[in-house]
Amino acid sequence: MSEPIPQALAGERLDRAVSLLAQTSRSAAAALVAAGAVRVNGTVRTDRAARLAPGDELGVAAAALASQRTAGEPRPEPAVELAVVHEDPHLVVVDKPAGLVVHPGAGRTEGTLCGGLLARYPEMAAVGERTRPGIVHRLDVGTSGLLVAARSAAAFESLLAQLADRTVRRGYEALCWGSLEDDRGLIDAPVGRSRRRPVQMAVSERGRPARTFYEVRRRYRSPAAVSHLACRLETGRTHQIRVHLAAIGHPLLGDEAYGAHVPGRSPGRRSGEGLPLRLSRPALHAALLGFSHPVGGREMLFESTLPADLTAVLAALS
């Protein structure tokens, strides 16, 4: 593809312009720029932050774009088992187990939730982005719990709008180290990409607004100080709950990424030292999901009980 940029894109970053014109994700657009597949006025540009000027002509190598799209597109995977909580012609709600990746990326191309959904609902291939069809929100690979995906274009647009308007109810259960002083509270701190560890997120003044409400369900003293929390998201930033709890000195049990950098928190304490068992993933479960049905507006509310690994931790603490 090669075309003059619209006037509205004058002054925009190169990666954002490529993302919009090629209809691909921002990260995929940045990869195209870095690979030398993007030209501005006939000259290869590899600085994704470069700003476009009025009248610039933007070109993306068709072969590179096609190769990227094919490589990143999930394929139907009947072997991926799904715990379907609800399904209708417009959407499906699943209870994702910890360890299951939502969509292909970062070297993981098989064994994804997307692949399982496509095998069961092939019409989803035409809904949303090609690299993550039907997906309107995500859960980290280590997070278990409820996730809704769209089976129709109408549902996709409606659910995205509800997320943008912050009307989707998302509740989590979490187990964190230590005993929080207040029974309930709000963590209001912007979250953005970490400067020290680019693959992680961090509380940052340069980040986007992020608000996490929490309530202590129970405090445990022995064999280790642990708090069982109910958390509610007002915003949905990447790793938000994990980052926020670590920022106030109470990282999640099992969180190797964010528990490691809390002062006084040794590596052993991240995974479960002091408990009769250890966790291989962050102790976070998406327990509640509520939204308005895209067709008809009926209020939908779903709940999920804690999975076996987290109930085992609670039993050990009790």
Active-site residue set: 140
Residue 206 DSSP class: T
Query: CA 261 → CA 30, 157, 237, 247, 282, distances in Å?
Result: 29, 39, 20, 9, 15
Asked whether the beta carbons of 229 and 201 are under 8 A apart, the reply is no
The sign of the CA dihedral 133, 98, 82, 137 is: negative
Residues in Cβ contact with 99 at an 8 Å cutoff, skipping those fewer than 6 apart: 141, 142, 281
Diameter over CA atoms, the chain: 67
Residues in Cβ contact with 236 at an 8 Å cutoff, skipping those fewer than 6 apart: 137, 163, 170
